Chain A
Amino acid sequence: MTIRHHLNDDLLLDYAAGRLSEGWSLAIACHLAMCPQCREQLALAEATAGAMLEELTPVEGPADSWETLKSRLAVTPEPAPRPVSRPVSATLPEPLRSYLGGDLDAIKWRNLGNAKQVLIKTGDKTTQARLLCIAAGKPVPEHSHGGRELTVVLKGSFHDEVDRFGPGDIEDADGSLTHQPVADDHEDCICLAITDAPLKFSSRLLRLVQPMLGI
């Protein structure tokens, strides 16, 4: 598997600095799980932040800061070992499985014609996260974006006006892009899509039923 579409530095640095909201971060985390190269870049960004932390001019606090900390330490319960139950193998990466409550086989899809989807609940009110499954060889309806859309391919591949996107690839689309993603022939394409505005479909009929379908 060769990833061709990586995190750009804007996303990488914003994620490293902790400035991205939960929805965007979910897409970044899924790409990172699938992309060792970007994990290395993230480690570099965090190492840089650490080096700069060392160089920050110290700010002194209250005189009793250490005493306060020590007394809080005394009442801090011993860490409970976190129960970690990991499956032996998985198709979808963490943290996505935790959001979905399971792997691919646990998903209750909602049919949308050539595609099916499931909306993903996050605490982030500024974005909508969804898992999409586009049937092999089929297009999703042509649309543009009122805002940004981050798409991470998890399985299969699709192509659009921009390029071809395979497993692990991330597409960062802004409001200016109108595209029609088409799943490649060999298998269904499953991807995670994060948006901060409703999609704008070119078809009037789709725009009409959009609120009912929740897309």
Chain B
Amino acid sequence: MTDRTDNAAPPTQTSAQIVAIAASADMAAFEALFKEFGPRIRAYLLKLTRDGQAAEDLMQETMLAIWRKAGQFDPERGQASAWIFTIARNIWIDAWRKQKRPAFDPDDPALVPPPEPEAPDLLEQKQSGAALHAALKTLPAEQVELIRLSFFDEDSHSTIAARTGLPIGTVKSRIRLAFGRLRAALEEIK
């Protein structure tokens, strides 16, 4: 459960940094966050754009958005790295693809709440970074790679199809299978 890859940032530290940025515009916390995540956000955006300058620009936009939106981050509701991912993703859609990605509003009166109050402990545990990293370790390398590509490649299905010579339908079903395995692995850990 606590076994983490060596190069990953401790999640509680990242959360604390974002909270500090929101609370007191803490520049030292922002610089630490930049050192830890900047190069990874750049790597993500480089995969999507295949353009070094664009990756640098979009990474900067992402960091500025993290600075501005830090107050919206709720450590109780999810992982810092997931929050950072969604910000980088939205910058990519907005600034690079010039598109919109409509999303639900968590405070909308028309939002249908969960049937019973969520057990925050359970949710937290299932999606904790440690549980996810541990679950990913139990998957075969090809399946991890498929999930990775499904997030980090602009057009994963056709890219993987072209690379492996498999039909797109087969690629999709393999990605579904891999994600299903991850869910099952998380249940086991829980």
A-side residues, CB < 8 A to B, are 1, 8-10, 13, 15-22, 25-26, 29-30, 32-36, 39-40, 43-62, 65-66, 68-70, 72-73, 76, 79, 84, 86-95, 97, 99, 122-124, 168
Contact = CB atoms under 8 A, between A and B. Distances in A.
Contact of B82 (A50, A57, A72): A50
Interface in B117-143: 123, 126-127, 129, 132-133, 136
Given A58-B40, A59-B42, A66-B31, A47 B79 contact: yes
B105 interface: yes
A95 B154 CA distance: 25
A29 B106 CA distance: 11
Interface in B135-185: 136, 147-148, 150-152, 154-156, 172, 175-176, 179-180, 182-183
B84 A50 contact: yes
Contact of B148 (A32, A52, A62): A52
B84 to A, nearest CB: 7
A72 to B, nearest CB: 6
Q: Say which size band chain B's interface belongs to.
A: 35 or more
B28 to A, nearest CB: 12
Nearest to A62: B56
B82 A55 contact: no
A91 B103 CA distance: 17
A68 B56 CA distance: 11
Given A53-B81, A55-B8, A90-B108, A48 B40 contact: no
Contacts of B93: 18
B85 A29 contact: no
Contact of A25 (B27, B64, B101): B101
Contact of A36 (B27, B35, B112): B112
Contacts of A61: 38-39, 42, 55-56, 59
A49 B80 CA distance: 11
Interface in B83-104: 83-86, 88-90, 92-93, 99-104
A36 B172 CA distance: 25
A126 B123 CA distance: 37
Nearest to A82: B72
Interface-central residue, A25, A43, A49, A58, by most chain B CB under 10 Å: A49
